[in-house]
Structure 1
Amino acid sequence: MITKINECFTFLYAQEPSNYLRTNSMGLQWYQDIGIVEYILIATFLVATTFYILRIRRIAHALNTHYRWVFFKLPLRIIYFALLIIALLGPSFGFGKKSIAVVGKDIFIAVDLSLSMKATDIPPSRLEKIKYELSNIINTLKSDRIGLVIFSSSAFMHCPLTYDKGALNLFTQILNTNLMPIGNAGTDFYAPLELVLKKYQEANKSNRKQQNEYAKVVVLFSDGEEFGDRYTAIVDQYKQNNIRVFTVGVGSLQGGKIPTSLGFKKDKKGKVVLSKLSTTSLQTIAEQTNGRFFEVSETKNEIPELINTIQEIKGQKLDVRNIDVSSNKYAYFAWAALALLFLDVLITVKVISL
């Protein structure tokens, strides 16, 4: 019985809490606040105790004798019941150091900021849709380091690898095509792939002991309208370095107009340009790097599948952190309550004197 009760408490506190420990002004911390379960237990104890006393009283009156000894063990029972309630709440006090291995992946997300990303075939626009989905990705991949790269015909680091989801969301919200220098027209996949590869190689050189000790992933968002095939020269290096590229095609096959300050973008003949989703290059990059192609359109959204695929990749040790932890002392209260419970069983009292 003792073993089962102890296993019950151990299982309860082995679960990851949904919130941080509650702390009062004295520094005592609680695993959880008193809740419906504790209130039910307290009510049950009070009702059962009251019913027991009233029953003994009725019997004593029927036998014309006293029943004062019924109160002899009442304080003892109140004490061990209170100790059990305290144990359930998980009191914690005292601090110690604990080493925590941070397991996850390093993920660079490259976002196409060429003018075609302003197309409105996916309302309100391709870029706004990407920004919305990026927030979902960032907030879901909590244990992974994420960095942002922006590109068109050239590429720039928008946000370095970080665990700070707040900063990542902030950098995501300010994404717009005006971030790219004037003259950066069109899309070149070689630029972001080269920049990300360079960053991974720099990380390996700065810490050779941890080289290849982390999973490396690239997520590339674009409408696929790539001019040229320079990216083929760098894809082999991705395979050699075991860096998987997941490409996300954003747009529609029917295409959409590109808004400008003067209306819509036109070609040299004065015709309105219709930007269409092109999947060929995106699929090629994904296939050759052991990645996968996903699509986001007005009728299809494969971002949840992308998130699941990334989560299935086995994360590896990124860092080891020493943190201050408060020790849960529930066991002391639970064992004290059990000791008093057995004492209650061992002590016999004649509650009715004849």
Structure 2
Amino acid sequence: MIELMHPQALWLLLLIPLLMVLRSVEASHWKRHKKGFFHSKTYPRIVHVKPVRRKLIHFLEYTGLILCILALSGPGVGTEIREVQREGVDILIALDLSQSMSAADVKPSRLERAKLEIVKMFSVLKGDRVGLVGFAGVAHLQCPLTLDHRAARMLLDVMDVSLLPVQGSTIADAVAVSVGAFPEKDEKHKVLILISDGEDHEKQIEEAVNLAVSKGVIIYTLGVGTLEGAPIPVYKNNQLVDYKRDKSGKVIITQLNEDALWQMAHATGGEYLRLTDVENPLLQIYDEISKLEKKAFQTHEYGHFKQLFQIFLGLGLGLFLVSGLIPENGKRNDADTSM
């Protein structure tokens, strides 16, 4: 497994297209101005630039720069796999992906703000396994329980209101899919964090609560939105074209509905928080989860990383040296000299 110690150094790769643009502008500038100093037939006799050589030199320089930047990122490769024991809790996050989560009464939108709070929580996770469930008209297990928090973060990034084919909001289905994703043999160490604006079109909350209680799942809920509400935007080609309307043509206002969220949390021994009332609400919920009894997980990870930056740096500097040894100008032919 390859790992980068300083992945932020890869941003320097953006310098390469910038350098290419600057060189192109400089070449165009020189071509325009050389006409004022040389006759069109005189310049080629003075400077014999070989286009193929120039392209080769630039290729070597760009490749050398890429390799040097990769060296700065600190690449390393794991030389062995070792077994590691961790302690934590199984945490599933059920995220509402219904269209009402596009409302902007919470900036930049309900969904984007919820995802930001999840990312904050991911950054402080310790030995806990985490999974993701998306729900709208149906519920879907987006990420099974895993200790690979970076993989979960990547799967979170693609979760939006277009992910699921059926719209609506079925909180009960989200609970059922989440409960089914926990290991059957465990009677505790199971937590579900359900994030939603509370709109539920199926009204089967009581059944969902009973299922969670029977399986030993504690539910924490986070309400996203405001009691005043906001219209649901309609986008086409990433452009706002209208707001969702009812059959009479009136703009629909979606409001935070806290009843179901509060009911689930308190019936299962969890807690309900309103996102707009608390700073870093998921971090507060995680503090409570951290007080629960933990279980041991067996996992495997790569260890003893061998650093490879020397190889990339050596190759990069070598290419710079070779590019400097290649002459850009070719020899003039005798026929050209006699003209």
Distance 1:99 1:254 in 2: 52
Q: Structure 2 counterpart of 1:165, which letter? A: H
Deviation at residue 271 of structure 1 after TM alignment: 1.1
Distance 1:323 1:167 in 2: 16
Q: Which has the larger radius of gyration?
A: 1
| Gap runs ≥5 in structure 2 | 6-80, 236-240, 305-339
Deviation at residue 142 of structure 1 after TM alignment: 2.5
Relative to structure 1, the CA distance from residue 318 to residue 284 in structure 2 (aligned partners, 3 Å threshold; closer, same or farther) is same
Deviation at residue 313 of structure 1 after TM alignment: 1.6
In structure 2, the partner of 1:271 is 250
In structure 1, the partner of 2:221 is 247
Match of 1:128, SS? helix
User: Percent same amino acid at aligned positions?
Assistant: 30
In structure 2, the partner of 1:50 is none
Distance 1:128 1:113 in 2: 10
Deviation at residue 195 of structure 1 after TM alignment: 0.9
In structure 2, the partner of 1:221 is 195
1:314 aligns with 2:303: no
- Counterparts of 1:253-292 in structure 2 under 5 Å? 253-261=227-235, 262-292=241-271
Alignment counterpart, residue 304 of structure 1, candidates 264, 268, 283: 283
Relative to structure 1, the CA distance from residue 252 to residue 102 in structure 2 (aligned partners, 3 Å threshold; closer, same or farther) is same
In structure 2, the partner of 1:30 is none
Match of 1:312, SS? coil
Contact 2:225 2:256 in 1 (8 A): yes
1:192 aligns with 2:192: no
Deviation at residue 100 of structure 1 after TM alignment: 4.7
CA-to-aligned-CA distance 1:289-308 (integer Å, 9 cap, x gap): 11110111287653332121
CA-to-aligned-CA distance 1:53-77 (integer Å, 9 cap, x gap): xxxxxxxxxxxxxxxxxxxxxxxxx
CA-to-aligned-CA distance 1:268-293 (integer Å, 9 cap, x gap): 11111111111000000111111110
Match of 2:89, SS? strand
Q: Structure 2 counterpart of 1:256, which letter? A: A
Distance 2:269 2:275 in 1: 20
What TM-score results when the alignment is normalised by the length of structure 2? Answer: 0.60
Q: Structure 2 counterpart of 1:248, which letter? A: L
In structure 1, the partner of 2:98 is 114
1:178 aligns with 2:162: yes
Deviation at residue 191 of structure 1 after TM alignment: 0.8
Match of 2:293, SS? coil
Distance 2:299 2:102 in 1: 42
Match of 1:185, SS? coil
Relative to structure 1, the CA distance from residue 298 to residue 120 in structure 2 (aligned partners, 3 Å threshold; closer, same or farther) is farther
Distance 2:277 2:263 in 1: 23
In structure 2, the partner of 1:168 is 152
Distance 1:222 1:124 in 2: 16
CA-to-aligned-CA distance 1:177-209 (integer Å, 9 cap, x gap): 00010xx23211111111122222xx33xxxxx
Stretch moving more, 308-317 or 113-122: 308-317
Match of 1:305, SS? helix
Match of 1:319, SS? strand
Relative to structure 1, the CA distance from residue 276 to residue 323 in structure 2 (aligned partners, 3 Å threshold; closer, same or farther) is closer
- Counterparts of 1:49-68 in structure 2 under 5 Å? none
Relative to structure 1, the CA distance from residue 317 to residue 263 in structure 2 (aligned partners, 3 Å threshold; closer, same or farther) is same
Relative to structure 1, the CA distance from residue 155 to residue 99 in structure 2 (aligned partners, 3 Å threshold; closer, same or farther) is closer
Match of 1:251, SS? coil
Distance 2:295 2:158 in 1: 31
Output the aligned Cα RMSD.
Answer: 2.7
Relative to structure 1, the CA distance from residue 253 to residue 321 in structure 2 (aligned partners, 3 Å threshold; closer, same or farther) is same
CA-to-aligned-CA distance 1:81-138 (integer Å, 9 cap, x gap): xxxxxxxxxxxxxxxx997532111111000000000000011100000111110111
